[in-house]
Amino acid sequence: PVILAIESSCDETSASVCADGNILSNIIANQTIHEAYGGVVPELASRVHQQNIVPAVQQALLNAKVNKNDIDAVAFTRGPGLLGSLLVGVSFAKAFALAKNIPLIEVNHMQAHVLAHFIGDHQPAFPFLCLTVSGGHTQIVLVNDYFDMEIVGQTLDDAAGEAMDKTSKILGLPYPGGPLIDKHARSGNPDAYKFPEPQIPGFDFSFSGLKTSILYFIRDNVAANPNFIEENINDICASVEKRIATILLNKLRKAAEQYGITDVALAGGVSANTGLRQGLQQLGEKLGWRTFIPKMEYCTDNAAMIAIAGYHKYLKGEFIGQEIAPLARMPF
Ligand code: ATP
Ligand code: MG
Ligand code: FE
C-alpha cells in the first residue's frame, strides 16, 4: 500500500509518503516563530500548521513522485501533543480520506517514535527496550510487538529534553537549546563540573533536582565572576550533557539486566544528542548489546515514523472512522 502520513503534534508540520514500508519522502517544516518566546506558543503553533500543512503534503507527494489519487490510506498523529496543533493534522487527514474515499489510520506519537526503528534495514528484534527521550517524554519502553508496548520506567517530573532546554535557558542560549548544548559540549570537558545523580527507585527518572542544582551552580559562580558562563560554556554544557546521559543510560542498563534484553534502542529528539549516542554505543559494546539509533531526521518529530507505524496498522487492517478526535494525552 501507498500511505500518506501527517504529523502535527507540536511545532513541526510534517508529511511523508511510504510505499510497502519504504519511505519515499519526509518533508519537515520547522516553526521558527517560537524562538522569540523561549518556548512553543500553542496558539501560534496551530496557526503555522494551518499555513504549512498543504504545501508540506504537496512537497511530500512531489518528492515521492506519487499522485494523490494513488494514495491507499492516510495515517495521522492522534496524540499525545498540543490539542490545537493536533487538530490541524487530524482535520486534514480526515478531509483527505473523505475526499478520496480511503481509510484512515490513527497513530500514537510516542509509539511512532519507537517504530521509527522499522524504517530501513537495521531493525531490532522483539522483545527490545527503547529509551524514548524527547521534549515532553522520558520513557523506557519494553517493546513486545509493533503495538504491544509497556512503559517500564518514566520521568516523575521534567523530561530529558526539557532539562536540556531549561539548562540552555539558564545559560542564556536561545530555544530550543538541546542542539546548542550538544554543539558546545563537543569542545568542552565533561568532567569539569559534577552535577548530582538523583536517587530514584526502579527505572523511573527525575530531572527537576538536576535543573535546580544547575541553576544554583550558575547563580553562585556568576556572583563570583560575571563572565563565568562565557568563559566556561563548553565545559558547562559538556558536564551537563554527560550527567543527563549517565542518568539515562544507568537506568537503561538496569532495565536491560532485569528483563534480560540485549537489543536496545534510542528514540525521540534527544537521541540526536552526540554524547548520548556515543554513550549508548560504548555501553552496548561493553555489555554485548545490539544497539539501534535512528537516523537524525527520524529522531525529532517527523511524519516518516507516522507512515511506518501506519503501514504496520494497515497490514493488520486497523482503521478508524471519521468521528475520530485528537487527544492531548494518549496512553499506549
Ligand atoms: P514529545 O515527543 O514528547 O511530544 P517533542 O515532539 O516536542 O516532544 P522531539 O521533537 O522528539 O520532542 O524532541 C525535541 C527535544 O529534543 C527538545 O527538547 C530538544 O532540545 C531536544 N534535542 C534535539 N536535538 C538535540 C541534541 N542534539 N542534543 C540534545 N537535545 C536535543
Ligand atoms: Mg519539536
Ligand atoms: Fe516527538
Q: What is the pLDDT of residues 179-206, one digit of tens each?
A: 999 999 999 999 999 999 999 999 999 9
Grid cell at residue 132: 524514548
pTM here? 0.95
Give the per-residue pLDDT at 203: 98
Give the per-residue pLDDT at 90: 98
Instruction: Among the bound ligands, name the one nearest to the CA of residue 159.
Output: 1
Determine whether the shortest distance from the Cβ of 301 to ligand 1 is under 6 A: yes
Q: What is the pLDDT of residues 207-216, one digit of tens each?
A: 999 999 999 9
Query: Which neighbouring-strand residues pair with 19?
Result: 2, 22
Determine whether the shortest distance from the Cβ of 81 to ligand 1 is under 6 A: yes
Is the pLDDT reported for residue 302 higher than 90? yes
Ligand 1 pocket test, candidate residues 10, 108, 137, 139, most atoms within 8 A of CB? 10
Q: What is the pLDDT of residues 81-124, one digit of tens each?
A: 999 999 999 999 999 999 999 999 999 999 999 999 999 999 99
Question: Which residue's alpha carbon is at the smallest distance from atom 29 of ligand 1?
Answer: 178
Instruction: Please compute the mean of the pLDDT values over residues 50-68 and round it to a whole number.
Output: 98
Is the pLDDT reported for residue 245 higher than 90? yes
Determine whether the shortest distance from the Cβ of 135 to ligand 1 is under 6 A: yes
In sequence order, the 6+-apart residues with CB closer than 8 A to the CB of 258 are 203
Determine whether the shortest distance from the Cβ of 137 to ligand 1 is under 6 A: yes
In sequence order, the 6+-apart residues with CB closer than 8 A to the CB of 219 are none
Task: Give one DSSP letter per residue of 239-292, joined into a string.
Answer: HHHHHHHHHHHHHHHHHHHHHT--EEEEESGGGG-HHHHHHHHHHHHHHT-EEE
Is the pLDDT reported for residue 39 higher than 90? no
Ligand 1 atom at shortest distance from the alpha carbon of 275:
28
Determine whether the shortest distance from the Cβ of 26 to ligand 1 is under 6 A: no
Grid cell at residue 191: 568532567
Give the per-residue pLDDT at 73: 99
Q: Which residue has the higher pLDDT, 179 or 39?
A: 179
127 to 92, 142, 143, 295: CA distances (angstroms): 35, 7, 5, 21
d(CA 66, CA 44): 31
> How many residues does the structure list for the chain?
332
Give the per-residue pLDDT at 175: 86
Instruction: Please compute the mean of the pLDDT values over residues 303-332 and round it to a whole number.
Output: 98
Give the per-residue pLDDT at 163: 95
Ligand 1 pocket test, candidate residues 26, 110, 131, 134, most atoms within 8 A of CB? 134
Q: Which residue from 327, 298, 247, 270 is spatially nearest to 137, judged by alpha carbons? A: 270
CA of 269 to the centre of ligand 3 (A): 6
Place of cell 499522485: 67
Q: Which residue from 196, 299, 288, 304 is spatially nearest to 246, judged by alpha carbons? A: 196
Give the confidence band of 13 by pLDDT, cuts at 50, 70, 90: very high
Determine whether the shortest distance from the Cβ of 240 to ligand 1 is under 6 A: no
User: Is residue 55 within 8 Å of 44, Cβ to Cβ?
Assistant: no
Is the pLDDT reported for residue 35 higher than 90? no
Give the confidence band of 38 by pLDDT, cuts at 50, 70, 90: confident
Is the pLDDT reported for residue 176 higher than 90? no
Question: Which residue's alpha carbon is at the smallest distance from atom 24 of ligand 1?
Answer: 179
Q: What share of the chain has pLDDT > 90, as a percent?
A: 97
Query: Which neighbouring-strand residues pair with 104?
Result: 74, 320
Give the confidence band of 264 by pLDDT, cuts at 50, 70, 90: very high
Ligand 1 atom at shortest distance from the alpha carbon of 160:
18
- Quote the mean pLDDT of the chain: 97
Instruction: Please compute the mean of the pLDDT values over residues 134-142 and round it to a whole number.
Output: 96
Give the per-residue pLDDT at 226: 98
